[in-house]
A and B are shown apart, each in its own frame.
Chain A
């Protein structure tokens, strides 16, 4: 367990090395350094996970203990019980996250060799990837909420840097700025939440059995809710999701790593981390999370059905899937787990879905990267009929689509089924809503799939530039992730992660599972029916029929425009500009007025100083006489 420190240090060192001395390395060397350090990290993570899950003794209650191999006093706050510590904490979810992050990150590193081949700034790219990996790992192993916040910010910055990687493209610049500012805005609430939490609970730590929490109970719902807003910003919950689709301006592997698999689940992870507090002190607020999640899931699924840019479709599907995880957490009603209690099933389901989603969504994005690499465009209109050019990509993409649609035996089926079970247990209405959204998921994913790999070929474009299968460095990660996606569903996930740490056997509720399979298959057929044919006449007819609605959804319900209006028209034009004007003209004007006033006054006064000695002497004389008179009279 002591070796965990290297999990953080290695990527950091490689970041420093590549960031500072990057330009003296060749592309190959830089990539190798980055990948090698990540490989070491992945190996260490697997070793840690093995140690943790299989070698560590469970406690008497059958719970996996929390291990804190490092914890140093980093920055003292001279207030009661508060300090900013840095350390590493291992518990089931952080170990699980270690595996997810290091696996996906390693795959992305390998993949980028091919994808970014010959790009300018290759070294910089690897440096940023290392920085991101380091901060994300730091986030999940944080021993206290402040450390989490710190790495949270670092994650945000590395995401900013990577989205803006193509810094000469205006869209990328705008997108990176937007991503950073929106998440920063959400982080503000996170910070305030932390402050409240720290003040009332007298601790920033994650040891939830302290007396302080009972004292702070009254304020905890507020604190937790504020933190949730922070998490909603990172995890792109409605209405703070607007940055995520734009973030697709970054290189595709980055989208796979950051904006699909790891960073965006930070919000989910944060709630999971504080889950005991949520359940204990703020169950009502937790259900708000569930409803926010449900709405987001629906909204994103609806938008995803109408997008034409494949990365955007994937981005909205990511939003929708993360919202599934949020719902799963939100529908929990109790802390203990048992075969007859499904009250805390959602926690496990959420983490399980996080795990499986990370794998298949990374797979989808990497596949999309191969496609974009092949056709040099993100638009679906440039694709179609690609299955004969890129067989490996085609098969792996199909596997991922099946997984996300919830078709057994792929991993997504198992985790999504747990979520649906939890939702039904909470409230049948919620369960049906989520099932419907799952159906929409299947629909838009297959719309995408058929649009890319079947459908009409864009002949003139392809004649101009024949699509070809991606190089080995790119297909290898695809195959690996596809294998994981096929197998992950059969992991006894409940044995590793569950709300109270007890062993929990996943069992399928065939009522629910059956329904969801039927619905998923039905919507796949629907998608096949609509999109498989030549030039999609039916789809176009439908789009024509519901033109307004389609246009609305295509424009993402005009939310971006609303934000644009608020920031530019209201904040910039009606707050900042007047303040700047006020500063220049009123305040500065006042001081300038003082200066000019003094000047003008002295200009008037100088008339007295005529320079004529005789006048002075006369005044002097008069003065003397006046003084004399006063003296005589007094």
Chain B
């Protein structure tokens, strides 16, 4: 696909290649999902399926090993959908189209690579691959304070990856320096338990924060509002939709899976932080005036819920976390797509200047309302099932500490309703007072297409959650079991217990 872009001469060619490539990806991801489900149904019980591996850098035992389990299949499907729709959403992007799509493709390459890797170092590398194009995409094609935002985003994420790198090498040497393969570290001859407890307590926070920065963990979330606000539409979509999920995925796959004792020991600190993220993000969103800031803070809140759920450490909540990643990915992508389209017409995102858009662009407005309702957890859309799974799961922890946090997290659904309805009421309803806006047109076919695809995906997940949920659970169950098998905290330092 990259090659194709390189060769493509004009804008049309670029678009054609992009559409072909992303469709191919989507088809592949769909096929992968189907075969995966088929194989699981047929009784394949390995933790990872379709594994492949070859040596890459022997002295450090770095291998390029790939494989998928239920979680990564779900994530791949999500990424494929978003890349596909993102292509359509940036159909009319003007300057430097070819370069834009080139970087966009590189970004998606990083994302896909990340999700299929089972080697820590390969994962880390793909993470970096996904990061760098962000800088250029925001810095060149962005809007507003784009240089500042791009720089801030890149620096903060790079800071996170510095932590991460320390963490990864710590795990590598802690586990005996034999392999970078996650599954092997976890299961090999004592495996993760071989990592000394004291060391775990050092590497766990490093890794968790490293990924947590990407997952918008409080207080490392501030790159996200600026970054999202300045990024071009498709990049916001991919970024909020997929890239932020890398954080949750990484926390779960590396930090918690490989260092179970430390998870038990130190999880509470992060649980508090994520709890804060959830409520804090929601409250912040209530008073923002820029549409993208509102959604960025809402993302902080929802991604906080992902990390919150995985730290609740049981199958239900972890499955809920992955569901939430999926659902939030799709919903936010939808949101950012719509905001981009509205912004492209009105040239403002300030909700004080927008009103009565319903009459002017009914399609976009209805889409926006649907996205909003999905976001506040309307049954029938994916948000509802994800949140409910998380809450039911979190509630299985019977002690007061977890209970209080769960209830606090539940409160976020009310606050979500407040800020979503505030925006809907302000910008869509009412009568339009700005005569420039009266001449604006509704969505074009490519925009409609991408919006409809996303809405369908959100609704499909919300209406028939059974298969996704089961598939994810096949991936989550071994990891959670593994974490539990390692026993409870050696010395419980949680003062709230």
Given A153-B377, A154-B379, A587-B219, A76-B466 contact (CB < 8 Å): yes
Contact of A199 with B398 in the complex, beta carbons under 8 Å: yes
A177 to B369, CA, bound (A): 13
| B-facing residues in A8-26 (Cβ within 8 Å) | none
| Residue in B314, B376, B393, B421 with the greatest tally of chain A CB atoms within 10 Å | B421
Q: What residues of B have a CB within 8 angstroms of the CB of A157 in the complex?
A: 373, 378
Taking a contact as CB atoms closer than 8 A, the residue among A79, A150, A153, A580 that contacts B316 in the complex is A79
* B413 interfacial by beta-carbon distance below 8 Å: yes
Shortest Cβ gap from A109 to chain B (Å) = 22
The interface bits of chain B over 290-328 (1 if a CB of A lies within 8 angstroms of the residue's CB, else 0) are 000000000000000000000000111001000000000
Contact of B379 with A75 in the complex, beta carbons under 8 Å: no
Given A74-B466, A157-B373, A198-B395, A173-B429 contact (CB < 8 Å): yes
Q: What residues of A have a CB within 8 angstroms of the CB of B358 in the complex?
A: 167
* B396 interfacial by beta-carbon distance below 8 Å: yes
Taking a contact as CB atoms closer than 8 A, the residue among A73, A151, A180, A196 that contacts B466 in the complex is A73
The interface bits of chain B over 165-192 (1 if a CB of A lies within 8 angstroms of the residue's CB, else 0) are 0000000000000000000000000000
Q: What residues of A have a CB within 8 angstroms of the CB of B378 in the complex?
A: 153-154, 157
* A389 interfacial by beta-carbon distance below 8 Å: no
Contact of B280 with A188 in the complex, beta carbons under 8 Å: no
Q: What residues of B have a CB within 8 angstroms of the CB of A180 in the complex?
A: 417, 421
Shortest Cβ gap from A58 to chain B (Å) = 35
Given A173-B429, A198-B392, A76-B287 contact (CB < 8 Å): no
The interface bits of chain B over 18-41 (1 if a CB of A lies within 8 angstroms of the residue's CB, else 0) are 000000000000000000000000
Shortest Cβ gap from A457 to chain B (Å) = 35
* A577 interfacial by beta-carbon distance below 8 Å: yes
A168 to B358, CA, bound (A): 9
Q: What residues of B have a CB within 8 angstroms of the CB of A174 in the complex?
A: 425
* B64 interfacial by beta-carbon distance below 8 Å: no
Contact of B222 with A75 in the complex, beta carbons under 8 Å: no
Q: What residues of B have a CB within 8 angstroms of the CB of A153 in the complex?
A: 377-379, 384
Shortest Cβ gap from B61 to chain A (Å) = 34
* Secondary structure of the B contact surface, majority rule: helix
Contact of A79 with B314 in the complex, beta carbons under 8 Å: yes
* B410 interfacial by beta-carbon distance below 8 Å: yes
Closest A residue by C-beta to B358? A167
Contact of B389 with A75 in the complex, beta carbons under 8 Å: yes
A591 to B389, CA, bound (A): 35
Q: What residues of A have a CB within 8 angstroms of the CB of B413 in the complex?
A: 184, 188, 191
Q: What residues of A have a CB within 8 angstroms of the CB of B393 in the complex?
A: 77-79
Contact of A150 with B384 in the complex, beta carbons under 8 Å: yes
Contact of B398 with A154 in the complex, beta carbons under 8 Å: no
Taking a contact as CB atoms closer than 8 A, the residue among B222, B425, B469 that contacts A583 in the complex is B222
Closest B residue by C-beta to A586? B219
| Residue in A73, A75, A153 with the greatest tally of chain B CB atoms within 10 Å | A75
Closest B residue by C-beta to A120? B359
Contact of A583 with B379 in the complex, beta carbons under 8 Å: no
Taking a contact as CB atoms closer than 8 A, the residue among B222, B392, B477 that contacts A591 in the complex is B222
* B391 interfacial by beta-carbon distance below 8 Å: yes
The interface bits of chain A over 267-285 (1 if a CB of B lies within 8 angstroms of the residue's CB, else 0) are 0000000000000000000
A176 to B391, CA, bound (A): 27
| Residue in B314, B376, B379 with the greatest tally of chain A CB atoms within 10 Å | B379
Q: What residues of B have a CB within 8 angstroms of the CB of A177 in the complex?
A: 421-422, 425
| Residue in A164, A572, A576 with the greatest tally of chain B CB atoms within 10 Å | A576
The interface bits of chain A over 72-94 (1 if a CB of B lies within 8 angstroms of the residue's CB, else 0) are 01111111001010000000000
Taking a contact as CB atoms closer than 8 A, the residue among B287, B406, B417, B473 that contacts A184 in the complex is B417
* B465 interfacial by beta-carbon distance below 8 Å: yes
* A355 interfacial by beta-carbon distance below 8 Å: no
Q: What residues of B have a CB within 8 angstroms of the CB of A75 in the complex?
A: 385, 388-389, 465-466, 469
Contact of B373 with A575 in the complex, beta carbons under 8 Å: no
Shortest Cβ gap from A448 to chain B (Å) = 31
Shortest Cβ gap from B56 to chain A (Å) = 33
A580 to B283, CA, bound (A): 8
* A181 interfacial by beta-carbon distance below 8 Å: yes
Given A74-B465, A75-B388, A199-B396 contact (CB < 8 Å): yes
| Residue in A78, A79, A176, A583 with the greatest tally of chain B CB atoms within 10 Å | A78
* A620 interfacial by beta-carbon distance below 8 Å: no
Shortest Cβ gap from A597 to chain B (Å) = 12
Contact of A181 with B469 in the complex, beta carbons under 8 Å: no
Contact of B389 with A576 in the complex, beta carbons under 8 Å: no
* A490 interfacial by beta-carbon distance below 8 Å: no
* A170 interfacial by beta-carbon distance below 8 Å: yes
Q: What residues of B have a CB within 8 angstroms of the CB of A168 in the complex?
A: 356, 359, 429-431
Given A78-B473, A588-B222, A173-B425 contact (CB < 8 Å): yes
* A146 interfacial by beta-carbon distance below 8 Å: yes
Q: What residues of A have a CB within 8 angstroms of the CB of B466 in the complex?
A: 73-76
Q: What residues of A have a CB within 8 angstroms of the CB of B406 in the complex?
A: 195
Taking a contact as CB atoms closer than 8 A, the residue among B219, B286, B411, B465 that contacts A576 in the complex is B286
A176 to B152, CA, bound (A): 40
Taking a contact as CB atoms closer than 8 A, the residue among A82, A167, A595 that contacts B152 in the complex is A595
Closest 9 CB pairs of A and B: A78-B315, A167-B429, A150-B379, A588-B222, A576-B286, A195-B395, A576-B287, A184-B417, A173-B425
Contacts A/B (CB < 8 Å), 16 sampled: A74-B466, A77-B392, A79-B314, A79-B396, A82-B392, A153-B379, A164-B429, A167-B428, A177-B421, A177-B422, A181-B417, A188-B413, A199-B396, A591-B152, A592-B152, A595-B155
